[in-house]
Amino acid sequence: MKGEREWDAFFSFASSVEAAPWQARLRRDVSLRGANWFRVGGRARGLFAPKTLGELMAFMQACDHFFGDKTKPLCVVGAGSNTLFRDGGYEGIVVRLPAHLKDDCGLSMATTLDTSVAGDTSVAGDTSVAGDASGAGDASGAGDVSGAGDASGAGDTSGAGDKSVAGGASDACDASGAGDASGACDVSDPSVVSRRDQGVYQIAPHRLWCGAGVLDRRVAEIARDCAIGGMAFLTGIPGTVGGGVCMNAGAHEGEFADILHAIEVVDDKGTHRVIEASTLDFSYRHTALPAKVIVVGAVLQGVAQDAASIAAQMARVQSARADAQPIRSRTGGSTFKNPSGKKAWQLIDAAGCRGMRRGDAEVSSMHCNFLINRGNAAAADIEALGEHVRTQVHAHSGIWLEWEIKRLGEFPPTHGQAQFVTTTP
Ligand SMILES: Cc1cc2nc3c(=O)[nH]c(=O)nc-3n(C[C@H](O)[C@H](O)[C@H](O)COP(=O)(O)OP(=O)(O)OC[C@H]3O[C@@H](n4cnc5c(N)ncnc54)[C@H](O)[C@@H]3O)c2cc1C
């Protein structure tokens, strides 16, 4: 769908849907710069930032009604730490989830898991496990496409870091390892399953339910506090749970595929369902999600481990990253996937691209599989520099690198004439 008139029709339809609970969450013509770590990109036709699962489902149903069988111009973004928005903007609506949808998928997951996924009814069947949805974390700031990482490297998303949303009295967390990793435990024992914090629920001794908008590093911290091992690697990934599921993000000998038990999604018809992780085809930095689904929650399964050793593991991950990666820069992390049996950074280095620049876009000298916006780079500079690196690597090694970073949106009208100029350091 292109053109002002068609979008007028869509927004007029949106405002005419009777008593639509989601109307207030839809904004027109929004800058995307704050929605990706590179801090680049044009504008989106709209941003939809729901506060509840019900709003998201109703919005998707309304879009289905309006667009019918046509491809729906929608995309979802998490922390934007693996995304580059192009300068011509996004010809559609960007969906951005808060850390915590207020009517809370945790509750629905708890009931749905009961019958359709886990079968461990002793945990999932009791909705008290999921905590109190009424006090669930508010997505403060979710209406703004902001919060993607800045030069400080914070990369916080809508409200995820806001301690005020933590689940007050029900924070007790069982570090004793009671129960077993299969998730079977006694839900009547409040010390086992009462953890609720910032969009994360401990639903079994070694199992967490996480909202898709929660930052990975927050999950790592909560897992540590709950003495749940196997999730320390999350401290090194600056994205959200939704982005991590989609990318099968990983590092330091762990990836989402290792810990994912099930996901909760809303599809483009507005239907909400649970998908078992065992049915997802994971590969390196890829998850075969069904087409057009938005992940709204994930159940992560860990193992018993004492909190002190998890903390030590997390510290090692953080220090290794600080030593090797420009984590305080405007970047998208690893630009290219490692080809089988090879390291992308070594190929880039061998091709002489380390430190190469195009305008304010630079191949990081610290880690040459990272591209950096030094300040005023356009998305086109970054993407063209990446393409130049691919060409150089191919010329040198015969290998075409594959982009890991997702590039979304349109090229600006002048893109075709842009001179391709790169400089070496
Ligand atoms: C400094 C730095 C270091 C990094 N280090 C690592 C690393 O060690 N390992 C690693 O794997 N990655 C790394 N990354 C890349 C990035 O952090 C991960 O890919 C992360 O999982 C992306 O999460 P996100 O929320 O930022 O996703 P986004 O960039 O917002 O989106 C990425 C993709 O996921 C999709 N998506 C996002 N949310 C949802 C959802 N709710 N439902 C469906 N699809 C969704 C988007 O549509 C997009 O296709 C690094 C990035 C940076 C900036």
With cut-offs at 50, 70 and 90, classify the pLDDT of residue 422: low
Please tell me the distance between residue 63's alpha carbon and the centre of ligand 1 in angstroms: 25
User: What are the distances in angstroms from CA 204 to CA 114, 201, 228, 265?
Assistant: 13, 9, 10, 21
Q: Which amino acid makes up residue 57?
A: M
Question: Of all atoms in ligand 1, which is nearest to the CA of residue 294?
Answer: 42
| Poorest-pLDDT segment among 147-161, 259-273, 303-317, 335-349 | 147-161
Q: What is the pLDDT of residue 290?
A: 94
Q: What is the pLDDT of residue 347?
A: 98
Q: Could you read off the pLDDT of 99-108 as tens digits, one per residue?
A: 878 765 554 4
Is the distance from the beta carbon of residue 248 to the nearest atom of ligand 1 less than 6 Å? no
Q: Which domains does the chain have, with CATH numbers?
A: 4-96 (3.30.43.10), 105-138+166-312 (3.30.465.10), 326-417 (3.90.78.10)
DSSP class of 423: B
Spatial separation of the C-alpha atoms in residues 250 and 233, rounded to whole Å: 7
The rounded percent of the chain whose pLDDT value lies above 90 is 65
* In contact, 410 and 88? CB cutoff 8 Å: yes
Break the chain down into helix, strand, coil percent, rounded to 5: 35, 20, 45
DSSP class of 336: B
Looking up tokens 């979802």, which residue turns up?
A: 76
Is the distance from the beta carbon of residue 247 to the nearest atom of ligand 1 less than 6 Å? yes
Q: Could you read off the pLDDT of 76-86 as tens digits, one per residue?
A: 999 999 999 99
Q: What is the pLDDT of residue 109?
A: 52
Q: What is the pLDDT of residue 400?
A: 98
Q: Which amino acid makes up residue 147?
A: G
Spatial separation of the C-alpha atoms in residues 389 and 387, rounded to whole Å: 5
Give the mean model confidence (pLDDT) for residues 278-286: 95
Spatial separation of the C-alpha atoms in residues 208 and 226, rounded to whole Å: 9
Give the mean model confidence (pLDDT) for residues 348-367: 97
Closest residue by CA, ligand 1 atom 20: 239
With cut-offs at 50, 70 and 90, classify the pLDDT of residue 416: low
Q: What is the pLDDT of residue 130?
A: 25
Closest listed residue to residue 32, CA positions, set 93, 73, 98: 93
**HSE-CB of 4 using CA atoms within 13 angstroms:** 0
Query: What global pTM score does this model have?
Result: 0.83
Please choose from 72, 77, 335 the residue to mutate so as to test ligand 1's pocket, defined by most ligand atoms within 8 A of CB: 77
Please choose from 95, 246, 369, 382 the residue to mutate so as to test ligand 1's pocket, defined by most ligand atoms within 8 A of CB: 246
Please tell me the distance between residue 211's alpha carbon and the centre of ligand 1 in angstroms: 15
Is the distance from the beta carbon of residue 80 to the nearest atom of ligand 1 less than 6 Å? yes
Phi, psi angle pair for 362, to nearest 5°: -140, 145
Is the distance from the beta carbon of residue 76 to the nearest atom of ligand 1 less than 6 Å? yes
Q: What is the pLDDT of residue 199?
A: 86
Angle between the N-to-C axes of helices 216-225 and 307-324, in degrees from 0 to 180, rounded to the nearest 10? 150
Q: What is the pLDDT of residue 196?
A: 60
pLDDT beyond 70 at 242: yes
DSSP class of 138: P
The rounded percent of the chain whose pLDDT value lies above 70 is 74
* In contact, 58 and 22? CB cutoff 8 Å: yes
Is the distance from the beta carbon of residue 409 to the nearest atom of ligand 1 less than 6 Å? no
Q: Could you read off the pLDDT of 210-222 as tens digits, one per residue?
A: 999 999 999 999 9
Is the distance from the beta carbon of residue 265 to the nearest atom of ligand 1 less than 6 Å? no
| Secondary structure (DSSP) of 44-91 | EEEEE--SSHHHHHHHHHHHHHHHTTSPP-EEEESS-TTEEE-TT-EE
Q: What is the pLDDT of residue 197?
A: 56
Give the mean model confidence (pLDDT) for residues 368-386: 97
Q: What is the phi-psi region of residue 55: left when phi exceeds 0, alpha when psi lies from -120 to 50, beta otherwise?
A: alpha
Q: What is the pLDDT of residue 188?
A: 41
Q: Could you read off the pLDDT of 3-24 as tens digits, one per residue?
A: 899 999 999 888 887 667 788 8
Per the structure block, which two tokens stand in for 258?
Answer: 């290792």
Question: Of all atoms in ligand 1, which is nearest to the CA of residue 213?
Answer: 41
pLDDT beyond 50 at 123: no
pLDDT beyond 70 at 173: no
| Poorest-pLDDT segment among 27-36, 60-69, 136-145, 376-385 | 136-145
Q: Could you read off the pLDDT of 84-99 as tens digits, one per residue?
A: 999 999 999 999 998 8
Spatial separation of the C-alpha atoms in residues 214 and 216, rounded to whole Å: 6
Spatial separation of the C-alpha atoms in residues 302 and 306, rounded to whole Å: 12
List residues with catalytic annotation: 285, 334, 404
Q: Which amino acid makes up residue 254?
A: G
pLDDT beyond 90 at 386: yes
CA angle 117/189/139 to nearest 5° reads 65
